[in-house]
């Protein structure tokens, strides 16, 4: 007796209705895995809202980029999966060959170009806002060193310095343009305030100038964002933002407390502490015992 040939398709297990939900769940899990593994926080996507208008606009730009990336990435994944499932091999025959689809090809060429131009234009607008340097109402000189920060206020005798765990404070008025003159005494440091969505290098031999206009009074944590040596991880500082009237009263009080002799002693102590390679903690840093 002659046996009929057995085709590979007849040996494949039939797909039951019970298996389909499991495949659907597995597909959804695969699509959600990148977002879950990246600890994606919606709708902030892990960024701060920004305590200034440029900082908030930077946050919105980040949101726009993230949403665009998710949409484009999701669409690409869907098209790949659709092509895999729809056009998988079903036999030994050559499938029907289709050549050209002018509207589709024009669409997937023009749309990405428009997306790139849109994101580029939004980036230029926000970047111009971030680097704008209007006439300031106050100025703070910031000096970074291994491993601490020095803050001085031109026209005032008050100054403050601190290193490693001391976390010195920089004071500034809210809703006013504050000029920051940033420099380094030794190596490259990073002036970074996360809630401002702002970071700049402090470079030796180079003055980096920028302007803040913080809209929300409060105390903000800052840190060095550039690996600068042994105690880089302890190089913190704080930014204290006050209402303008309160800031002027505060700075006047500090000037009144700091006599000329005390200011000279504080400057000498600060110079010793910020001397490269010398880790000296002064008894006083702002002329006040």
pLDDT in tens, 43-96: 666 677 777 888 778 888 888 888 888 888 888 888 888 888 887 777 777 777
Residue 47 carries which DSSP code? -
Asked if the model's pLDDT at residue 127 lies above 90, the reply is no
Q: How far is CA 140 from CA 88, 105, 131, 160, 238, in A?
A: 66, 56, 17, 11, 14
pLDDT digits (tens, 9 = 90+) for 143-154: 999 889 999 999
Asked if the model's pLDDT at residue 277 lies above 50, the reply is no
DSSP bridge pairs for 241: 172, 218
What domains can you pick out in the chain, each with its CATH number? 26-87+101-131 (no CATH), 138-273 (2.60.40.420)
Residue 26 carries which DSSP code? H
CA distance 237 to 127: 25
Backbone angles phi, psi at 282, to 5 degrees: -70, 155
What's the confidence (pLDDT) of residue 270?
Answer: 57
Q: How far is CA 190 from CA 220, 223, 279, in A?
A: 16, 8, 20
CA distance 114 to 171: 44
What's the confidence (pLDDT) of residue 95?
Answer: 74
Query: 52-82 in b/e burial notation, b at 16+ Cβ within 10 A?
Result: bebbbbbbebbbeebeeeeeeeeeeeeeeee
Q: Are strands 169-173 and 236-242 parallel, antiparallel or unpaired?
A: parallel
CB neighbourhood size of 9 (10 A) = 8
What's the confidence (pLDDT) of residue 190?
Answer: 92
pLDDT digits (tens, 9 = 90+) for 226-244: 898 888 888 999 999 999 9
């Amino acid at each position: 007796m002659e046996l009929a040939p057995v085709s590979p398709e007849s040996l494949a297990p039939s797909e039951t209705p019970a298996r389909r939900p499991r495949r659907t769940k597995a597909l959804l899990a695969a699509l959600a895995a990148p977002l879950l593994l990246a600890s994606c926080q919606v709708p902030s996507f892990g960024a701060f809202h920004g305590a200034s208008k440029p900082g908030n606009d930077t946050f919105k730009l980040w949101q726009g980029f993230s949403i665009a990336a998710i949409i484009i990435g999701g669409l690409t994944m869907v098209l790949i999966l659709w092509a895999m499932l729809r056009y998988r091999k079903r036999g030994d025959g050559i499938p029907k060959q289709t050549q050209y689809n002018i509207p589709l090809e024009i669409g997937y060429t023009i749309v990405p170009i428009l997306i790139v131009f849109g994101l580029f234009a939004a980036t230029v607008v926000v970047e111009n806002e971030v680097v704008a340097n209007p006439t300031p109402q106050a100025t703070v000189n910031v000096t970074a060193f291994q491993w601490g920060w020095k803050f001085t206020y031109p026209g005032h005798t008050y100054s403050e310095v601190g290193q490693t765990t001391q976390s010195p404070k920089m004071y500034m008025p809210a809703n006013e343009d504050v000029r920051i003159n940033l420099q380094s005494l030794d190596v490259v440091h990073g002036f970074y305030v996360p809630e401002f969505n702002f970071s700049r290098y402090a470079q030796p031999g180079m003055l980096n100038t920028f302007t803040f206009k913080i809209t929300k009074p409060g105390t903000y944590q800052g840190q060095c964002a550039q690996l600068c040596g042994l105690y880089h991880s302890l190089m913190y500082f704080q930014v204290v933002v006050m209402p303008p009237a309160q800031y002027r009263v505060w700075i006047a009080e500090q000037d009144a407390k700091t006599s000329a002799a005390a200011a000279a002693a504080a400057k000498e102590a600060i110079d010793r502490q910020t001397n490269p390679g010398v880790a000296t903690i002064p008894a006083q840093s702002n002329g006040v015992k």
